[in-house]
Chain A
Amino acid sequence: MGEPASKIEVKNIKDIGLDEGAARLTPERIEKVINEVIDNETGARLKVYVDTCVHCGLCSEACHYYLSNDKNPVYAPAGKVKQTLWEIVEKKGKVSPDFIRRAAELCYTECNLCRRCAMYCPFGIDVAYMMLTMRRICHKLGVIPQYIQDTAQSHSATMNQMWVKEDEWIDTLFWQEEEAAEEIENLRIPLEKEGAEVMYSVIGPEPKFRAQLIYQAAVIMDVAGVDWTMPATPGWDNSDMAMYTGDNEMMGRLKKEHFETAMRLKVKKIVMGECGHAFRSVYDMGNRAVGWKMPPVQMVHALEFYYDLFKAGKIKVKEKYDKPVTLHDPCNVIRGRGLHEMARYVVNKVCETFIEMTPNREHNYCCCAGGGVINCGPPFRDKRVYSNRVKADQLAATKKKGVEVCIAPCHNCHGGLEDIIHHYKLGMELKFLGDIIYEVMEKPE
């Protein structure tokens, strides 16, 4: 299993966003932008991190890139900082366009901002924060991989990730409502219902590619008797690729739209679908970008929501799912929010046989899709798949124990794990937790 390291192209994968962007740079502009960002936006944190690191290398073994690439130091967390921000700070911004080109490819496609390494650093140095700072510089310099930049631009024009037009969104909800009403008579996806308890929000790809997830959520809401609504306006999308390109102003605009939609609808909480990065945006980075220390409207991730429903006995299981399953813990809701035990409670409620992968919970390896890496598109696909051989090994070990299905309660994890399962020929099925709940729950005849 696995690929020889030599196959991995580390540098200068062709990408029009990176290539054209770097071609437009001048040393003066680079210096000016870098110093603006470092002086005005980073504060003491960056300097402390850069000064504190003792190059002990304890973080290296934490990073799936490093492990999967035969411990190539280029992929060590501290190595990534060395190739980017260290150099920049040391040279006070006097770096070349070629340097920026490489730094951009590194920070956008060779780190998932998964924060696993920070757990192993004796000083708690957060390499993800440094990579985000590097991305902020690259955004300001206009050197961003094409696919993720296109997504950020979609966000800016439509307030969603997938160029979904206002009418297409509403039409998709009607369509899912109609289909679900064939299964459960008079089922509704209540649009614009002011004063409902819950606003349900999803990410852009759901209406575009995975509309059945909206259908399933509607069935779960209906059967559990939740008083819920969905908006018929922009603001329905909780996702955020602007957060990952470094366009913090757009990140703030997106979150304002999202939370103000919930405020307008007078809901008490927002329940969001199974997505990791969106949670980071609504629970940490995006809300803070506009001055809301905490989400202004309570934000409940699907894992917590399912947990609450089962605890309250609002959903009953007809017959447990019988294929042996494992669970991939998504970084953003596990390391970022600690929902791992809730996830296990639900998995055990709905599945006959649950087999842990190792390591697990907050120690789980990232899927290598996160942090916007999968959103950088096909040019970087191979690098991403080769750079997660450890995930393939981790999954293969569960398969040996009989696992047939991997549950991944995060959209990007899904995309990333799909590629890994396919490439390493693991022969496993991938599911959202909602897929299984929908399948095994008691529904009205």
Chain B
Amino acid sequence: MTDSSSWDWSIGKRQIADITQWKETFGYVEEPYVSPDGEKIAAIIKTEDMEFSVCENGNAWENAFDKVWFLRYSPDNRLTGIVSDTAEWTLAVEGEAWENKYDFAWNTIFGRDGKSMLLMTQADGEYSVLINDVPWEETFPYMTNLAGNADATRAAAVAQTIRFSEGDIFAFQKGCYTVAVDGKVWDTNFVNVYEPVFSADSAHVAAQVRTSLYDYTIVVDGEPWPAVWPWVWKAAFSPADGSVTAPVKTPEGWTLARDGHVFWGQRFAQLWHHVYSPNGMSIAAIVAPKYGHWTVAIDGNAWKKTFNDLVTDLVLSPSGRRAACAGKENDRYTIAVDGTPWPFHCDMAWEPVFSPDEQHVAAKIEKDGQFTVAVDGKPMKAQFKNLWNPVFSPDGEKIMIRAIEGSGDKETYVRQVLPLTEILG
């Protein structure tokens, strides 16, 4: 979490940038990105020499590149982009490219406070990871599924350790993949490995593996669980006791297993994306109690309300006492909180956000091409051309709206802080 207490929380609206002006100045302007504190907005542009650069709050970076992509703000409001010059790729932070350069670089991951960042690299067909411009010593014939620990100072990824030629199906089936953590691989290879994940204290890594074409299990620090299932999904560590849980498919249906044993009594037609509350006392998951009916289960107990299309963006409140998600039924979205859907439908709903005191939930929504924020089921009156997710003030009494306003071709970026009461009435 970034500390938002130092941000400007005074009530009021400020215009930060005139995007129309940028378009006039640069001609080519890509879609903009906004800093978490709302103070900055940036977009990839092309210079007069048809090189790529970045415009932030109206000012272009001094440096231009052959290409800039994946423009993203770190949680501490620094602007990054992946850049190339003469086919050498790296990360640029605030316009300055890192020293280490590669044939390709991608998939920037930030630590939660933004201080550290890492990304995947490839040079001469060898894959590796670059953390704060320091490369791993080890490289691999292939890597995928890059993950960082919470502060992005450590990395893990699925790594290929044995080369095989295309078509050599039996070599593959013997197991050619494992997990590399900070460049060091686990001793055992597997047929497939998916989605490594760090424990809350960063000391351990778990992943899904396929040990034969038919058997799946979870591996923790290289040690597979003693049981196998025909199907598993992504594992998670309990922040309370470090135990590992994962959805597994039993003959009676999907359930949650802990440290190799079935743990929940309930069975579902589907169960995935389980998350822990920060104190580790509660687990929420997206489930289908029946085929084609989607909802959320808290500690195994499913909400009554179900959605026939999908449920996504499940979030738990800071204490884990409350849960919210986006749901879609009959092709229309809404937000559901603690099992109760908001009283409207929209064309798209974004990940809901809890206030720090857990009293309120806000979400960005889209209806008929217009965007707004709804709080506790009540949409703001104002509508916008575009929006970023709303942010609550640390005391939970105010909300920050980061929005693109304007009519016709006019587009300005505004940062507005409102008392919650203004939306809730």
Contacts and interface: CB of A to CB of B under 8 A. Distances in A.
A419 interface: no
B223 interface: no
Interface in A303-321: none
The 3 A-B residue pairs whose C-beta atoms are closest, nearest first, are: A293-B292, A296-B310, A291-B270
B169 A150 contact: yes
Greatest chain B CB density within 10 A among A154, A249, A260, A268 is at A249
Interface string A130-152: 00000000011010001101100
A157 B144 CA distance: 9
A120 interface: no
11 contacts: A153-B169, A157-B192, A158-B144, A166-B120, A167-B104, A167-B120, A170-B104, A192-B70, A232-B70, A249-B230, A291-B292
A28 interface: no
A130 to B, nearest CB: 22
A186 B166 contact: no
A140 B216 CA distance: 14
A170 B231 contact: no
Interface string B274-312: 000000000000001001101000000000000011101
B343 interface: no
B106 A166 contact: yes
A268 B348 contact: yes
A180 to B, nearest CB: 14
Contacts, number: 100
Nearest to B331: A298
A291 B269 contact: yes
Contacts of B103: 167
Nearest to B290: A291
A443 interface: no
Given A263-B312, A292-B310, A190 B169 contact: no
Interface string B131-151: 000000000001010000000
B309 A296 contact: yes
A266 B169 contact: no
Contacts of A165: 122, 127, 142, 144
Contacts of B67: 174
A154 B27 CA distance: 42
Contacts of B348: 195, 266, 268
B291 to A, nearest CB: 6
Given A234-B144, A249-B231, A296-B328, A17 B169 contact: yes
B169 A40 contact: no
Contacts of A232: 69-70, 106-107
Interface string A271-303: 000000000000000000011111011100000
Contact of B166 (A139, A150, A249, A256): A150
Contact of B69 (A17, A191, A256): A191
Interface in A13-29: 16-17, 20
B179 to A, nearest CB: 14
Contacts of A174: 67, 69
Interface in B175-215: 177, 191-192, 194, 210, 213-214
A166 B310 contact: no
A252 B233 CA distance: 11
Contacts of B160: 157
Contact of A291 (B251, B291, B350): B291
Contacts of B107: 166, 232-233
A140 B104 contact: no
Interface in A240-275: 247, 249, 252-253, 256, 260, 263, 266, 268
Contacts of A294: 309
Given A40-B251, A157-B192, A296-B309, A163 B166 contact: yes
A61 B216 CA distance: 44
A156 interface: yes
B322 interface: no
A422 to B, nearest CB: 24
B28 interface: yes
A431 interface: no
B292 A147 contact: no
B106 A20 contact: no
A102 interface: no
Nearest to A162: B166
A146 B168 CA distance: 8
B342 interface: no
Contacts of B366: 195
Nearest to A33: B214
A70 interface: no
A328 interface: no
A198 to B, nearest CB: 13
A147 B331 CA distance: 39
Contacts of A171: 104
A193 interface: yes
A20 B348 CA distance: 51
Contacts of B231: 249, 252
B347 A268 contact: yes
A252 B269 CA distance: 13
Contacts of A157: 144, 160, 172, 177, 192
A383 interface: no
B402 interface: no
Contacts of B28: 186
A252 B144 CA distance: 19
B291 A191 contact: no
A64 interface: no
Nearest to B28: A186
Contacts of A389: none
B226 interface: no
A188 interface: yes
B422 interface: no
Contacts of A263: 310, 312
Contact of A190 (B31, B106, B122, B216): B31
Contacts of A296: 309-310, 328
